[in-house]
């Protein structure tokens, strides 16, 4: 019998670690738009807010890449477990060799 267990991380009750980046970027974009209405200092404020957004964008992308990498690692672990269980529980036959070839092709 094949038993596969999936573990989920508990979601934090407060904002996640990366949410502050999105909120800060939104605030900076709003500030940049509002600064257009200020006569003398507006362009300076707008420029500062836009620079702030440019600085935060790579941080947000790094967090997204980390989440994606973690998802891929979990899927790989699941597939390796599935392959190990299938190899140990299926008798050697011509179907087994075909299954093994499919799994090795998938790993590449």
pLDDT of residue 108: 60
The span from the CA of 12 to the CA of 33, in Å, is: 33
Mean pLDDT for back-to-back runs of 10 residues, the chain (108 residues): 62 60 88 86 86 86 78 80 70 63 70
pLDDT of residue 90: 56
Which pTM does this prediction carry?
0.47
pLDDT of residue 7: 66
The span from the CA of 50 to the CA of 30, in Å, is: 10
pLDDT of residue 17: 60
Q: Where are the alpha helices (DSSP H) in 1-108?
A: 19-35, 42-89, 94-107
Q: For the chain, what are the domain ranges?
A: 20-107
pLDDT of residue 8: 66
């Amino acid at each position: 019998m094949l038993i596969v267990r999936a573990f989920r991380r508990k979601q934090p009750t407060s904002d996640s670690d990366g949410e502050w980046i999105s909120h800060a970027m939104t605030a900076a974009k709003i500030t940049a738009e509002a600064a257009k209405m200020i006569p003398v200092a507006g362009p300076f404020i707008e420029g500062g807010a836009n620079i702030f957004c440019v600085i935060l964008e790579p941080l947000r992308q790094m967090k997204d890449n980390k989440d994606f990498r973690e998802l891929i690692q979990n899927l790989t672990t699941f597939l390796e477990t599935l392959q190990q269980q299938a190899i140990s529980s299926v008798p050697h036959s011509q179907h087994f060799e075909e299954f093994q070839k499919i799994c090795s092709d998938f790993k590449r």
